[in-house]
């Protein structure tokens, strides 16, 4: 132990672990939705590790990318496992992060004093989305290529857009330079995400976790809180086990469930697939993009639909955090969530006929929730008395 | 709340049904030996399927992701594979003098496709390259069921539909007009050595099973590893659960 003390005096790792992983005071009433944060952190690690192994065998070149992915699937020992872990990991990561966000929205985790914690989280979401988008391009299948073409072309709506798009591509269409830089950025961004996650955690530990009752806890008298270890370490392990069971089911028994069959056809710039659809986790935002008849308006609405999360702490200024003690918000929360599923469904359909109208209505409702319903609730929703302790 | 959600889901599923139906004929379900959590490939069926591929499909389609030696996984012996490979001529080179040369195939060679290059493929197929079949089962919605249905889905066009000379009518192809000629025109088009009756449906099913193997050669390993992984995770998760209960029992 002398060696540990010697090190700790100069580099306080032991103290850090003790303060932030062991004795760290945590509200004792956290339900299983509070497992999602740690699961998301583990998923980031799983994605980085599996991704590093894949990168050792992958070739970012338009003539070889598709074949190198099949080389990983067929010739590299355990390659199919790494690829399916990584591919399904993206979907599982998004499921976890979306649930994590839904939990924050329901229990008011973004409110005073946790606004910056929430904002760092939105930055993480943006970084994840960029990473996932570029990762999907790497196998160089039909959806990779055409998805990249559609999304990069969105930048053409801005003034001088044509030159922005060519700058992004590194040429006059999605081609080898595009694939190459997407690979580089896809490798880089996860490490930036790690940095963002660390900042997210620093913000979290400043005031500690919110809780299902949404009330401030008294960390001094010890009635409301318990030390993180062993209570939440073991609870997180259990939740992680359940999560990995579901994850493994997809990896081993339905590895292409979340994918598009078209992506097993090598990219061909001369053949456009009948329906270009993004991965499922982008579908609600894709629906918003296509619901606006104006191209610039569509792009702004799509970016705005995610960026609006940045200002949620100021749109919802109701003094009560948890929906449990907000009789109106508790009800109005669910149409918002269902509306997201409707948007996702519409995003997977061709933008014509009835789907166009459903999509436009759902887009309108999405923004109405943030810009009309939340501010009105600030003003009119009754403020109930909150419980005194946990 | 639940009623509301149920109503929305029901509405969406009705819309889905309508949208799918006017798009494509529903593909019949086949009971494949490789379905399910412990499904495996039937070696004899895959060998028959390879025979169908070799004698019928390979005149237009390649399976460039497969090497001869990988056929050992479907029950061919090493000498059989060696002999099979040797029956192909492979262009190789340049040799030390700088010349290209032709040699007998080796088990480590990729199974050669029917064309020297895409331009040759286009020139004899009205300008289109017949797709490589290595991943076809994974690359089509409906997978193996769709591939078998397509192979057997040729019929005379309904009244009012006219086809160009290069087109054929197939009830399962997205707009029904397909360039590929019917691969099977009569029963016993191939002669199976194991006595299986080579009906059109049987040949289609065998070659589809073979192509399912080519698309996912790792499938049996994957499912076996999956079973072990899930068993391990279930056991560990139960241990975590009981440990959690014990640790938390004093928290009020």
The answer to whether residues A197 and A320 belong to one domain is: no
Q: Give me the mean pLDDT over the A358-387 stretch.
A: 97
- Residue B20 pLDDT exceeds 80: no
The answer to whether residues A322 and A190 belong to one domain is: no
The answer to whether residues A230 and A287 belong to one domain is: no
pLDDT, tens only, A220-235:
777 899 999 999 999 9
Least confident residue range of A76-85, A87-96, A381-390: A381-390
The answer to whether residues A218 and A344 belong to one domain is: no
- Residue A69 pLDDT exceeds 60: yes
Confidence of residue B203 (pLDDT cuts 50, 70, 90): very high
CA separation for the pair A113, A278 (Å, rounded): 36
The set of residues, in sequence order, having a beta carbon less than 8 Å from that of B177 and lying 6+ positions away, is B163, B167, B168, B169, B170
Q: Average pLDDT of chain A?
A: 96
Q: Looking at residue A375, which CATH number applies to its domain? A: 1.10.287.980
The answer to whether residues A95 and A139 belong to one domain is: yes
The answer to whether residues A270 and A313 belong to one domain is: no
The answer to whether residues A80 and A213 belong to one domain is: yes
pLDDT, tens only, A243-257:
999 999 999 999 999
Residue A111 falls within a domain, yes or no? yes
ipTM for the assembly: 0.92
The answer to whether residues A49 and A192 belong to one domain is: yes
The answer to whether residues A289 and A205 belong to one domain is: no
Residue A388 falls within a domain, yes or no? no
pLDDT, tens only, B204-229:
999 999 999 999 999 999 999 999 99
Residue A190: CB atoms within 10 A of its CB come to: 18
Q: Looking at residue A137, which CATH number applies to its domain? A: 1.20.810.10
Residue A183 falls within a domain, yes or no? yes
- Which residues pair with residue B67 across a beta bridge? B110
pLDDT, tens only, B164-188:
999 999 999 998 999 999 999 999 9
Which residue, A276, A310, A339, sits at the end of a domain?
A276
- Which residues pair with residue B91 across a beta bridge? B102
The answer to whether residues A195 and A268 belong to one domain is: yes
Burial class (CB in 10 A: 0-12, 13-18, 19+), A274: exposed
Q: Give me the mean pLDDT over the A51-78 stretch.
A: 98
Instruction: Check residue B21 and give its pLDDT.
Output: 42
Instruction: State the total domains in chain A.
Output: 2
Q: Looking at beta carbons, which residues of chain A come within 8 Å of B37?
A: 253
Which residue, A243, A276, A309, sits at the end of a domain?
A276
Residue A329 falls within a domain, yes or no? yes
Among A105, A99, A117, A113, residue whose Cα is nearest residue A322: A105
> Where would I find the H helices in A154-255?
161-169, 176-207, 228-253
DSSP A289-311: HHHSSSHHHHHHHHHHHHHGGGG
What is the percentage of chain B residues whose pLDDT exceeds 70? Answer: 90
- Chain A nearest CA to B234, separation (Å): 7
Contact A248 B230 (CB under 8 A): yes
pLDDT, tens only, A107-133:
999 999 999 999 999 999 999 999 999
Residue A137 falls within a domain, yes or no? yes
Residue B113 touches chain A, beta carbons under 8 Å? no
Q: How many angstroms from the chain centroid is the CA of residue B250?
A: 57
- Give the structural domain span for A49: 26-276
Query: Catalytic: A205?
Result: yes
Residue A13 falls within a domain, yes or no? no
Q: B-contacting residues of A 58-77, CB under 8 Å?
A: 70, 73-74
Instruction: Report which secondary-structure segment, H or E, holds A39.
Output: helix A36-55
Residue A243 falls within a domain, yes or no? yes
Which residue, A276, A294, A321, sits at the end of a domain?
A276
Instruction: Check residue A218 and give its pLDDT.
Output: 85
The answer to whether residues A201 and A269 belong to one domain is: yes
Residue tagged active-site, from A224, A236, A260, A262: A236
Given a contact cutoff of 8 angstroms between Cβ atoms, the answer to whether B133 and B211 are in contact is: yes
Residue A11 falls within a domain, yes or no? no
- Chain B nearest CA to A21, separation (Å): 17
Assigned token pair, A352: 């014509």
**A252: nearest CB among B134, B226, B251:** B226
Given a contact cutoff of 8 angstroms between Cβ atoms, the answer to whether B178 and B168 are in contact is: yes
The answer to whether residues A119 and A257 belong to one domain is: yes
């Amino acid at each position: 132990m002398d060696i540990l003390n010697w090190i700790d005096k100069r580099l306080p790792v032991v103290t850090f672990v003790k303060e932030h992983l062991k004795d760290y005071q945590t509200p004792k009433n956290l339900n299983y939705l509070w497992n999602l944060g740690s699961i998301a952190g583990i998923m980031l690690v799983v994605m980085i590790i599996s991704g590093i192994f894949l990168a050792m065998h992958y070739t970012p070149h338009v003539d070889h990318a598709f074949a190198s992915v099949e080389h990983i699937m067929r010739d590299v020992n355990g390659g199919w496992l790494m690829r399916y872990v990584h591919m399904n990991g993206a979907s599982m990561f998004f499921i976890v992060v979306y649930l994590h966000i839904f939990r924050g929205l329901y229990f008011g985790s973004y409110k005073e004093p946790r606004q910056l914690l929430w904002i760092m989280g939105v930055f993480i979401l943006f970084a994840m989305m960029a990473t996932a988008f570029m990762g999907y391009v790497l196998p160089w299948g039909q959806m990779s290529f055409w998805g990249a073409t559609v999304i990069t072309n969105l930048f053409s709506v801005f003034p001088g857009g044509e030159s922005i798009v060519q700058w992004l591509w590194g040429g006059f269409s999605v081609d080898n330079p595009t694939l190459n830089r997407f690979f580089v950025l896809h490798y880089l961004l996860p490490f930036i995400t790690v940095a963002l996650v660390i900042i997210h955690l620093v913000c979290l530990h400043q005031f500690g976790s919110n809780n299902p009752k949404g009330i401030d806890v008294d960390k001094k008298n010890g009635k409301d809180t318990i030390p993180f270890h062993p209570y939440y370490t073991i609870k997180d392990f259990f939740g992680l086990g359940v999560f990995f069971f579901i994850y493994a089911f997809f990896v081993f028994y339905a590895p292409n469930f979340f994918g598009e069959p078209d992506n097993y056809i090598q990219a061909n710039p001369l053949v456009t697939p009948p329906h270009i659809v993004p991965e499922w986790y982008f579908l609600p935002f894709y629906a918003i993009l296509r619901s606006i008849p104006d191209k610039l308006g569509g792009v702004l609405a799509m970016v705005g639909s995610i960026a609006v999360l940045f200002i949620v702490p100021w749109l919802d200024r109701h003094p009560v955090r948890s929906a449990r003690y907000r009789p109106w918000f508790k009800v109005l929360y669910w149409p918002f969530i269902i509306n997201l599923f409707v948007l996702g469904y519409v995003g997977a359909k061709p933008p014509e006929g009835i789907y166009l109208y459903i999509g436009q209505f759902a887009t309108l409702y999405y923004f109405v929730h943030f810009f009309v319903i939340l501010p009105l609730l600030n003003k009119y929703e009754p403020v109930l008395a909150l419980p005194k302790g946990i | 709340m639940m009623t509301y959600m149920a109503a929305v889901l029901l509405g969406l599923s009705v819309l889905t049904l309508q949208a799918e139906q006017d798009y494509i004929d529903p593909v019949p379900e086949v009971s494949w030996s490789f379905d399910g959590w412990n499904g495996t490939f039937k070696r004899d069926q895959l060998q028959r399927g390879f025979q169908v591929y070799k004698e019928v499909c390979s005149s237009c389609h390649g399976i460039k992701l497969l090497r001869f030696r990988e056929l050992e996984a479907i029950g061919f012996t090493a000498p059989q594979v060696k002999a099979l490979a040797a029956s192909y001529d492979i262009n190789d080179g340049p040799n030390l003098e700088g010349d290209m040369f032709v040699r007998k195939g080796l088990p480590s060679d990729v199974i050669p496709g029917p064309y020297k290059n895409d331009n040759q493929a286009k020139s004899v197929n009205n300008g289109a390259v017949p797709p490589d079949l290595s991943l076809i089962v994974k690359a089509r919605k409906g997978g193996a069921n769709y591939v078998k249905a397509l192979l057997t889905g040729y019929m005379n066009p309904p009244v009012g539909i006219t086809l160009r000379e290069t087109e054929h009518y197939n009830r399962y192809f997205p707009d029904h007009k397909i360039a590929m000629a019917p691969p099977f025109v009569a029963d016993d088009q191939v002669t199976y050595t194991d006595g299986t009756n080579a009906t059109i449906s049987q040949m289609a099913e065998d070659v589809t099973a073979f192509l399912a193997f080519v698309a996912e050669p790792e499938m049996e390993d994957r499912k076996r590893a999956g079973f072990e992984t899930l068993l391990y995770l279930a056991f560990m998760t139960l241990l975590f659960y009981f440990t959690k209960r014990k640790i938390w029992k004093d928290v009020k």
